[in-house]
Amino acid sequence: MPSTVFELAKRELICPPSFLPDSVQYEVITGSVAYGCSSDTSDMDIVGFCIPNKDMIFPHLKGEIEGFGRQKQKFEQYQQHGVSDPSALSGKGRVYDLTIYSIVKYFQLVMENNPNMLDTLFCPQRCILTMTTVAGMVREKRKMFLHRGAWHKHKGYAFSQLNKIKNRTPDSDSKRGKVVAEFGYDTKYALHLVRLMSNVEQILIEGDLDIEKDREMLKAIRRGEWSLEQVQSYFDSKERDLESLYTSSKLPHSPDEPSVKNLLLDCLEQHFGSLSGVVVREDEVLRKMQEISDICTSLKVKGFIQ
């Protein structure tokens, strides 16, 4: 089934890079629709990844030497907001916000446990619009990306939402301004603050993520059923709990970068064929032997072994 990007480009509603429409591997609906707390289906936030041309991923194939001469611009993402499709929904129309990453950039962001990117990888099946064999490989191994560093990322994003609640005063005539006038604070920012804290709690405890798990709670917050004091109290309580969970979690302290890199190379070989003449894979046995050697050296330095 053609991707959304392909269909919109075919109808000249968007003008992406020429390679992009045929290279999209994964597209999902994100935002409140994915969290299960919105009844609005007219606007769609779509995020995914593509596989650019081989020489865009490995620029040395076209003779480029990193750091020498004029460097060609690398493709990292295509983004276009407010794309209107008047024929969608039987003529009612629909507006799209599109973000399609290079598979390399996507892997990097997910490996860093960027909350928005984790949402796309752990979104419910009903939100998947496009999924190729490559995307299926990534979905199947999605838990391997999770690590305790998720707490730091989610905490930072949650603080950002809290600051927006406290410091941002929207135009009183705007939709958001009317929400603030009615409830005393912006319920959308509160929804995201609570969601971020709850999601990272799942990650640290379960090593997994169900982004729809708290949909009823999030709906209640959006309806203004929580006071600002309740939101602040929830954040303060969760912050204390999560600091302890960070220490006791069974997840690795940081990402297993070599394993993630191998998955990325597996995906690229699924798409392009063998990359043996393009990139050298790190031998797993040699890597493990080096890790053992490093541990032994560390123990010797500390005097635990002779």
Start-end of H helices in the chain: 4-10, 32-35, 54-57, 103-111, 115-121, 133-140, 150-167, 175-183, 187-206, 215-222, 228-248, 257-272, 284-301
**What does the pLDDT profile of the chain (306 residues) look like in tens digits?**
799 999 999 999 999 999 999 999 999 999 988 998 875 555 789 999 999 999 999 998 988 888 888 877 789 999 999 999 998 888 888 899 999 999 999 999 999 999 999 999 999 999 999 999 999 999 999 999 999 999 999 999 999 999 999 887 777 668 888 889 899 999 999 999 999 999 999 999 999 999 999 999 999 999 999 999 999 999 999 999 999 999 999 999 999 999 999 999 999 999 999 998 888 887 655 566 667 777 777 777 677 766
The token pair at 284 is: 């797993």
User: What CA dihedral angle connects 144, 203, 253 and 153, to 10 degrees?
Assistant: 110
Phi/psi at 38 (nearest 5 deg)? -140, 140
Phi/psi at 24 (nearest 5 deg)? -70, 130
The token pair at 95 is: 């507006």
Residue 207, classed as helix, strand or coil, is: coil
CA gap 262, 265 in Å, rounded: 5
CA gap 203, 210 in Å, rounded: 9
CA gap 4, 47 in Å, rounded: 10
